[in-house]
Each structure stands twice: as C-alpha cells, then as structure tokens.
Amino acid sequence: MRGPSTFLKVMGLVGFIFLYAPIISLVVYSFNESKLVTVWGGFSTKWYVELFRDPQILEAAWVSLKIAFISATLAIIIGTVASFVLIRFKKFRSKALLSMMITAPLVMPEVIIGLSLLLLFVAMENLIGWPSGRGMLTIIIAHATFGSAYAAVVIQSRLVDMDLSIEEAALDLGAKPLRVFFDITLPIIAPALMSGWLLSFTLSLDDLVIASFVSGPGASTLPMVIFSKVRLGVSPDVNALATIIIGIVSLGIIVAALQMNRGKKNG
Amino acid sequence: MSHENATPDTQPWNDPKAVPFLQVKNVTKKFGTFTAVSDVSLDVYKGEIFCLLGGSGCGKSTLLRMLSGFEDVTSGQIIIDGQDQAGVAPYARQTNMMFQSYALFPHMTVEKNIAYGLKRDGLPRDEVAVRVSEMISLVQLDKFANRKPHQLSGGQQQRVALARSLVKKPKLLMLDEPLGALDKKLREETQFELMEIQENLGVTFVVVTHDQEEAMTLSSRIGVMTDGQIVQTGTPHEIYEYPANRFVADFIGSVNIFEGRIVEDEVDYVVVQSRETNTDIFVAHGVSGTVGQKVAIAVRPEKMTISKDPLPDMRNVIKGTIAEVAYMGNRSVYQVQLESGKRVRVAHPNRTRRGAHTLTWEDEVYVGWAGQAGVVVSQ
Ligand SMILES: Nc1ncnc2c1ncn2[C@@H]1O[C@H](COP(=O)(O)OP(=O)(O)O)[C@@H](O)[C@H]1O
Ligand SMILES: [Mg+2]
C-alpha cells in the first residue's frame, strides 16, 4: 500500500500545529520567569508555587474536583440504566425518541443546556422548594445530565458488542438474573464504565458555560475562577494552572482509551 | 415403522411402556408473525443422543432455546423428567446447554469458567475443586487451566464450553452445533470423544447440527427439520434407508430421484412408470398408494451397479453413457446420462488399485439396481 501523498502529509502537519501550538506555547510559558506573558525571561517554577499559595484557586479546584467526582459517578449510573433500556429491552414505541433525547446533550449548544437547566431549577424551587438556591448541588445535577449522555454512548457501544449468550450461559448454569449482572455483565462492561466515568469527569472539570449558568454564590469552579482572572489580564499563574489541567485531562483521556482497548481484547 | 429387530433395551422408542425423558408436545414458536418452530412433537429417552438435523435457519436453535427456557413457547408443552417446564426459569431447570458461540466468560480463567455452575449450586469449595479438575482432565485441558478464553484456540474453547456444560452432570444436555468450529479431522475425533463421555456419564444429549455426517455418526436417533417442522424422526439407518419424503432423501446423503406414476400396486411390490427411464421401475415393497398416483423413487448411488455388460440379475436396468467421472479414492462416482436425458449418479467402490473395469468418459454402460434398493418417497 502506498503511503499518504506529500500534500496530505503537509496538510496533516499544518493541522496539528494549528491544534497544538497554542497548547505547547501555554505549557512553555507557564515555566517563564518573567511576569510578562509574551516575553521569555528564563526557566522557573515560581508560578506553580504561587498558584498553590492562592486560596481562591485552591478552593475552586477542590470544588471542581468534588463536582466532577460526584457528577461522573451519577452520570455512569444514569448512563448504564439508559443503555440497558435502549439496548436490552424489546422494541418499545418511544425507543427512538428516548435514544435521541439521551444523546441530545452531545449536540445541543451549551448555552441552551445551561439556560434551560437554570430555568428548570428556578421553576422547581418555586414549585417544590428544591433545590433551594443554586450552588454545588445544581452544578452536580447539570453535569450529571450531560455527562450521562457521553457515558450512555460509550456503554451502549460496549453492550451492543457483548454476546447475549454469555449472560444466558450464566443463567443456564444456575445464576439468578441479579447475580448474572454482577458476576458477568458488570465485569465485562467495566472498561466502558471506567472510560465513561473518566470522560464525564474531565468534561465536568472542563465546563465553564453550563456551570456559570447554574452556579450560585460560594460555588465557583476552577474554570469560572480562571475566566474571571483572565478578564483582568492574563497572568502567568493561569498558564501554570492550565498546564496542570491539561495534564490531568490528557491522563484521563489516555487511561480511558487504554481501558476501551483492553475491554475490546477481553470481550 | 421399524425395519430392525426391536430390542427394547437399546431402542426404548420401540417399547410402548418406556416413558420418554423429554417430551415436546405440539410446540410452536412465533416471532411476531414469523413462525420459527411449527407444531413440533418429539420424545427423547434417557441415555439417547438425539440429533436435530436441518439447514441453517430451520429453527433448531430456537427449539433448543425453548428447552433451556430462554424463549417462551407460543403454544404447546415441554415436559422434562415428568415435569412441565412452563414458567420454569432457565436457572431453575435441570438442563445445561453448550452454546453455538461457546459463550465463555471472557474475564474468567478456564478453571473459573468450569467452576461457575458448581459454585452457584453452593457446593463446598473442595468438592468444586475436585470436580473441576476431573472435568479439566477429561477434556484434556490441564495445561490451560489458568488461561483466559481469548488465549485459547477454537478447539480448546469448544472443550471448555463442553466441560462447563457437563460439570453439573445435568439430566439433559443440549449442544448447539458443538463441533461447528473444528476442522474435519478434529471434528471426527471429538465426535467419538463425545460419544464416549455420553456413555460414561449417562447424560441424555440433544445435539443440534446441520452436518448430516455428524448426525449419522453421533446419534441414536435423528429428527430432520425443515421450515420449523420435524419431517422425519428415526435411527440413522431408518432415515438413510427409508427416507419419508423427497426432502429427507435429498438432505441425507446423495440420491437419485425418479418421478413417475404407479402402474401396478400389490401388497409386496409396486411398479412405477417413469418418463425418465425407458423401462418400468420395480420396487420390492408395498406402499399405501393407488394405481395412477404420482410418486418419486429414491435410489442411493452406492446401491446401483454400473457395467459395460448387460446386468441380467438386476431387477432394474437402464442404458446410458458416462458423462462425468469423479475419482474419490475409495470409490469412483460416475454421472451417467440416460437415453431420456436424465443424469444419475452411480458410486462404484475401487477395490483394486487399477480398477477392475476401466470405465471412462463416453462409454456405453448399463446401470442396474435390485428391487430392494429403491424406495418410494412422497413428494
Ligand atoms: N429473537 C428472534 N426474533 C425474530 N426472529 C428470530 C429470532 N430468533 C430466531 N429467529 C428466526 O427464526 C428462524 C430460525 O432460527 P434458528 O432457530 O436460529 O435457526 P437454526 O436452525 O439455524 O439454528 C430464523 O429465520 C431466524 O431469523
Ligand atoms: Mg443455530
């Protein structure tokens, strides 16, 4: 087979530079001694040190991690249930509709998701008094909502691939349905659950728009803090923070991809 | 109809007092408007290897899945060991199944796969260990006990699946195309192993296959299926020698079919006039037909004789020309063009190395068969 033409290679390279040059420059400048973002003043890790002295940042990072952890866990549970309903149940009338609704958050503009959730929360508070006010809880619910869309996609693809007769074999050998789920199904879809969780986790960590809509006083996530800081001018410690986030996100994506691959080989 | 000396011991189906171990009574299965299994009735006796034989998509797997409890019956009744299986969940049935896809648990080792069913029965740990290791030796997988399924070859996976379904010593074991993934040689070896295991453990087998040779080798009796129906049930010998209809004759082995009309109908013989032969065909058994009725006569290629000389001692002799010769090692198969234009296949054993008569293309030959060789089959 012939390799790609020179033209394709060049275009590929240009594409990669376009995508990654800003990220690389950000990482490089996070180690910049100078306070000026655009002037190189020698290598230093002082912005990282400074970052860890900033209570606002630390507080926001902690809030973000908590939200990401809880919402990713919720997303996996909702995503698993939805996937089972969509893949395993016999055809029911509103199946196509449900399938569309589950995946809608993947394509819906974030502004609209954020706005509609905000309206929902306000209306609910007026009607039933819950959730009272907006803060971490509302962000968690919002993130779980769109995280479950991603989780459902990942889990569904795994469930579709799974040979149903494996579960039937377990039933045949005397295991009751619940037992089959925990002994057989869960271990087999575990890699998908893991990668779905990591995906929801990083998406939650990443989200600015939806969180801004549904958050309230006292619940600022990391992206929100960064955004407000940047509006006062880009400072090098934001670069350092961004570098750390990039590190965490890439790690998450790599682990998720590895999990999916491992799952494919085993099943 | 039985053509052998019925001995009730080895042929419980000929013993009116014998109680079937598995009874399938008028079972029908519909998927929506599509009928996958249509009014099937079947009796299987203890210790049998019963083969369900039929082409792909004829409903064999569906029937097995109803016996295991994975599909509900649309109508009809399934009785295993005297118990009506209606409403009995798969995990509560005294049956085990070896799946067409093997369905091994991908995240468990060979050992754990085999132990799974015993653990579900709550057997003590050491007993589980003993029975699992016995079973692993039986299927010769000792070296692979700690491997995961994806580290095994197709043949080894098949053995794990067999061991896993056998280890609980089920009263009834169902095997769905158990040897499908094996190559011919391994398949033949495994067939004999299966028969040996079956004899040693005394388990009743229901085996699904689309391979007629496999069915002939393995089974005590065969049920031939097509379009969701069982068209004939009988011993391999009965099915081969006395096919009930044209489909069965065609499906099991190769056969020559002559179409014609009954011209003489006596108690112990019939004579059939066929446009495909110049002479009338004599069949040495009576049929429940009438003169003038349209019938087909089936004659197996190996029951025909071929010769350059006239065959005076054969009841049926037709002249023809050799159109094709296929050398198969132990025998040669000749395609002979009859004067009517019809072609028949004649198999001739190669007893000597050079072949006693050196028949070849374009030779004028006589094809003959005895009165007992042909059978009248319904269309
Ligand atoms: N769950 C199902 N829904 C609809 N049709 C089915 C289902 N299972 C089997 N069938 C149909 O029933 C027929 C018999 O299938 P099967 O029993 O698997 O055949 P085989 O004899 O090859 O094992 C096939 O035409 C198949 O398409
Ligand atoms: Mg099948």
Tokens 């508070």 belong to A125
For the sheet containing B95-98, what is the strand order?
B95-98, B172-176, B204-209, B49-54, B221-226, B229-234
**From CA A262, how far away is CA A67, in angstroms rounded?**
28
Please tell me if the CB atom of residue B58 comes closer than 6 angstroms to any atom of ligand 1.
Answer: yes
pLDDT value of residue B233: 96
Helices (H) and strands (E) counted in chain B, each on its own, are 8, 20
CA–CA separation, B203 and B223 (whole Å): 19
Q: Where are the domains of chain A?
A: 44-266
**Partner B contacted by A161 (CB < 8 A):** no
Question: Where is pLDDT greater, at A1 or B19?
Answer: B19
For chain A, positions 4-23, list CB contacts with chain B under 8 A. none
For helices A236-266 and A136-161, give the axis angle rounded to 10 degrees.
30
Largest distance between two CA atoms of chain A: 71
The mean pLDDT value for A213-235 works out to 87
Assess whether pLDDT exceeds 80 at residue B43: yes
Residue of B nearest to A163 (CA): B103
Mean pLDDT lowest among A52-56, B80-84, B181-185, B204-208: B181-185
What is the arithmetic mean of pLDDT over A168-184? 96
Contact assignment for B164 to A169 by CB distance below 8 Å: yes
Q: Which residues of B touch A170 (CB under 8 A)?
A: 105, 116
What pLDDT, on a 0 to 100 scale, did the predictor assign at position B2?
A: 42
Domains contained in chain B, CATH given: 8-247 (3.40.50.300), 254-377 (2.40.50.100)
Q: What is the ipTM of this complex?
A: 0.83
**Residues 6 or more apart whose Cβ sits within 8 Å of residue B217:** B188, B191
A266 interfacial to chain B (CB closer than 8 Å):
yes
Q: Of the segments A199-203, B125-129, B275-279, which one has the largest average pLDDT value?
A: B125-129
Pick the CATH number of A44-266 from 1.10.3720.10, 3.40.50.720, 3.30.70.100, 3.40.50.970: 1.10.3720.10
Please determine, for residue B6, whether its predicted confidence score (pLDDT) is greater than 60: no
Q: Report pLDDT digits (tens) over A106-123.
A: 888 999 999 999 999 999
Q: Does A267 touch chain B (CB under 8 A)?
A: yes
Higher pLDDT, B355 or A174: A174
Atom of ligand 1 nearest to the CA of B65: 17
pTM above 0.90, yes or no: no
Indicate which residue's Cα is closest to atom 3 of ligand 1.
Answer: B31
3-class SS letters over B343-373:
EEEEEEECCCCCCCCCCCCCCEEEEEECCCC
Mark residue A57 as left, alpha or beta (left: phi above 0; alpha: psi -120 to 50; beta: remaining): alpha
Beta strands at B375-377 and B294-299: parallel, antiparallel or unpaired = antiparallel
Phi, psi dihedrals of residue A88, rounded to the nearest 5° = -95, -30
Is residue A198 within 8 Å of A74, Cβ to Cβ? Answer: no
Average pLDDT, chain B: 90
A266 contact residues in B (CB cutoff 8 A):
106-107, 148, 150
Exposure string (b/e) for B84-102, b if CB count within 10 Å is 16 or more?
A: ebeeeebbebebbbbbbbb
Q: Give the tens place of pLDDT for each residue, A23-52.
A: 888 888 888 888 877 788 888 888 899 888
The Cα B133–Cα A181 span in angstroms is 27
Residue A265: its pLDDT value, please? 58
Kindly determine whether residue A175 and residue B120, on different chains, have CB atoms separated by under 8 Å: yes
Q: Minimal CA–CA distance to A65: which of A73, A54, A76? A: A73
Q: Which of residues 215-234 of B touch A (CB under 8 A)?
A: none
pLDDT band at B4 (very low <50, low <70, confident <90, very high): very low
Query: Cα distance from B250 to chain A (closest Cα, Å)?
Result: 33
